[in-house]
Amino acid sequence: MRATDLPGAAHLVLASGVIHLAPETAVFDAMLDGWQLQQRTRFLKADTIRGRVELMRRLAAYTNAYPWQWEAADVEAFIDHLRQRPRPIVVSTARIYQHSVRMFMEYITDPRYCWPRVCQEQFSTAPVQILHEWNTVVHVTEYEGEPRRRPLTYDEIQALFDAADGRVEEIRARHRKGALAAMRDAAMLKTVYAFGLRRREAWGLDLGDLRHNPKSPVFGRCGALFVRWGKSSRGSAPKRRTVLTIPEMDWIVPVLEQWLDEVRPAFGAGRHPAMWVTERAGRMSLRRINEAFTEARQAAGLPAELDLHCLRHSHITHCVEFDYPEKFVSSQAGHTYAATTAIYTGVSDEYRNRLLQRSLARHPELWDEEPAS
């Protein structure tokens, strides 16, 4: 393959021999088209590509300049502008933005794609890399999310589920529609917690994903859950894993049995494969899954910064507190590295005190010593 034949090369997206009325706009649009093509050949998600392209357009609008005119001060001012808004961007978002700009500049400054030559011929200047170690966020911690976002306590989990169940009774008492949907939402939220699911994993569940576990026949058809829509990475297909039902979460079995045998058939979904269906016999949307958590959280009076993903954090944390081995918890969560599982874990003081008491019990000689004066 010749260098100029690379996906996204200038001659593949910019018509030659054509005099454009607005050459700057034509070249910029062609750059973005070429970058999209380059990313699609790497099997990156469409939403990821779309977001990156939109960011480049926002940067161009903010600077009122084109990429071959951009300087380091331009992107620095842009990031600073986003930090000064009423709702400023957080560190993790700034990192994503800077990483996207850096990749775009690497693409248009790479001579294999011929954009430096095109810009030099048409505008007598060439693009340069504007992001470097001195004007990008330094990655020093594994977790850069909202500090207030955390695992829920056992009491908060109970309050959330009580609020979700309470919505069903409230709707029935007012003789209004929506009781079935409220029952679905309650069962779905409990399933997300019991199996430590991400939002998209819960959305993609089908009836056939419920599995028997020969080692735990007492759980029947709810002995395990086959997750097919795990988080992908670097253009790979969604990762798959099997999450086993653990004894501490055995209460999820009657919840799922009631949903499958009594509630779901009332939706009239027929042969639709989805686990969570709507009143129109379609698959429950990602947005509706978020809304179900928000409604239950508000009804339970829990902090507004808690979101659906906190249920996954809670599941992982509580599995650790149930004394499951680190490798088992990582496998349940679908984490390749134990360090990732550790980010999700926020064990309680009660659990740490239990560990301390066990350690002290193994060293009775410590109890015989007089306290230091």
Helices (H) and strands (E) in the chain, counts: 16, 3
- Alpha carbon separation from 189 to 158, 164, 308 (Å, rounded): 12, 8, 8
d(CA 367, CA 364): 5
CA distance 129 to 115: 13
pLDDT computed for residue 176 by the predictor: 85
pLDDT of residue 373: 45
């939706």: which residue's tokens?
A: 267
Query: Global pTM?
Result: 0.73
The helix (H) or strand (E) run that includes residue 33 is helix 23-40
Angstrom distances, CA of residue 78 to CA of 56, 82, 89, 129, 350: 11, 6, 11, 16, 46
Q: Going residue by residue through the chain (373 aa), what tens digit of pLDDT does each one get?
A: 444 678 889 988 987 777 778 999 999 999 999 999 999 998 888 999 999 999 999 999 999 999 999 999 999 999 999 999 999 998 888 999 999 999 999 999 999 999 999 999 999 999 999 998 888 876 545 555 566 678 999 999 999 999 999 999 999 888 888 899 999 999 999 999 999 999 999 999 999 999 999 999 999 999 999 999 998 876 678 899 999 999 999 999 999 999 999 999 999 988 999 999 999 989 999 999 999 999 999 999 999 999 999 999 999 999 988 888 888 999 999 887 666 666 666 665 666 666 667 666 766 665 555 545 4
Q: How far is CA 66 from the centre of its chain?
A: 32
> CA 215, 220, 226, 227 torsion: positive or negative?
negative
Q: How many Å apart are CA 218 and CA 222, to the nearest integer?
A: 9
pLDDT at 354: 66
Task: Please tell me the distance from the alpha carbon of residue 188 to that of residue 177, in angstroms, as a whole number.
Answer: 19
Q: Is 239 exposed, middle or buried (0-12, 13-18, 19+ CB in 10 A)?
A: middle
Paired tokens of 195:
């199996």
What is the reported pLDDT for 224? Answer: 95
Distances (CA, A) of 353 to 220, 314, 349, 361: 36, 19, 6, 12
* Rounded Cα distance, 123 and 130, in Å: 18
* Backbone phi and psi for residue 91, each to the nearest 5 degrees, phi listed first: -60, -45
